């Protein structure tokens, strides 16, 4: 089967991509409204893209009515935001936070999730998240004809829960992915859990 993307509409292309670029990590983004309340939203066009400076990328589409999403507006107006990884313990809360709300309404109120101070950073983090990235806006680029907002965030600090941190055979700090139990995004309404951990040594 060959999928020719040229004749497809943007929604059809979207469904083709999300079912083939798999699995994708989920960015659970906490950003701040002007009144200091917080918006929380998940995005699965997300990954690390640079080490110097340390940058992560989130691609944010538009609302059904064509207006910009709250996450994009908040990050452009107030540069700091926090990105969390989604795991098996938080997937249901993440899914609930994906509901469409009016601008200014906080998903923290509808989900009952609690925040806690992010040491050394102005924006708090979700207390239940095992991994969180303290970020500031690096660049926002409009791409495509829709368009999408490609948000580059510079990572300043990473919170890693002590329960997922250990040591390797050489005594070096090791973050255990199998203890995080991250959840990946697949196609519509589909997710994948961590599953079996495979090891392969890279050739010299």
| Structural domains of the chain, ranges and CATH numbers in brackets | 10-192 (2.30.110.10)
If you compute the radius of gyration of the chain from its CA atoms, what whole number of angstroms results? 18
Distance CA 75, CA 80 (A): 7
Burial (CB count <10 Å: 0-12, 13-18, 19+), residue 143: exposed
Whether 105 has a pLDDT exceeding 80, the answer reads no
- Distance (Å, rounded) from C-alpha 128 to C-alpha 148? 30
Contact 95, 40 (CB under 8 A): no
Asked if 152 and 49 count as a contact pair (C-beta separation under 8 A), the reply is: yes
pLDDT at 109: 84
Q: Provide the pLDDT confidence category of residue 121 given band limits of 50, 70 and 90.
A: very high
Mean pLDDT, the chain, as a whole number? 93
> What mean pLDDT is predicted for residues 34-59?
95
Cβ–Cβ < 8 Å for 41, 112: no
pLDDT of amino acid 143: 93
Residue 97 has a pLDDT of 93
162 falls in which pLDDT band (50, 70, 90)? very high
Number of other CB atoms surrounding residue 10 within 10 Å: 12
């Amino acid at each position: 089967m060959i999928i020719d993307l040229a004749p497809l509409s943007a929604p059809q292309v979207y469904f083709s991509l999300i079912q083939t670029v798999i699995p994708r990590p989920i960015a659970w983004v906490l950003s701040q409204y002007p009144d200091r309340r917080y918006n929380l939203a998940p995005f699965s066009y997300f990954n690390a893209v640079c080490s110097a400076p340390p940058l992560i990328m989130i691609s944010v589409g538009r609302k059904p009515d064509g207006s910009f999403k709250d996450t994009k507006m908040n990050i452009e107006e107030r540069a700091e935001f926090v990105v969390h990884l989604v795991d098996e313990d938080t997937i249901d809360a993440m899914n609930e936070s994906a509901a469409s709300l009016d601008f200014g309404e906080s998903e923290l109120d509808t989900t009952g999730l609690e925040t806690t101070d992010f040491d050394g950073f102005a924006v708090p983090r979700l207390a239940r998240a095992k991994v969180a990235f303290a970020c500031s806006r690096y660049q926002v680029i409009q791409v495509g004809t829709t368009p999408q907002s490609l948000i580059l965030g510079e990572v300043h600090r990473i919170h890693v829960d002590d329960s997922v941190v250990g040591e390797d055979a050489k005594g070096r700090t090791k973050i255990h992915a199998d203890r995080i139990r991250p959840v990946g995004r697949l196609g519509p309404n589909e997710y994948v859990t961590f599953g079996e951990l495979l090891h392969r040594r890279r050739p010299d």
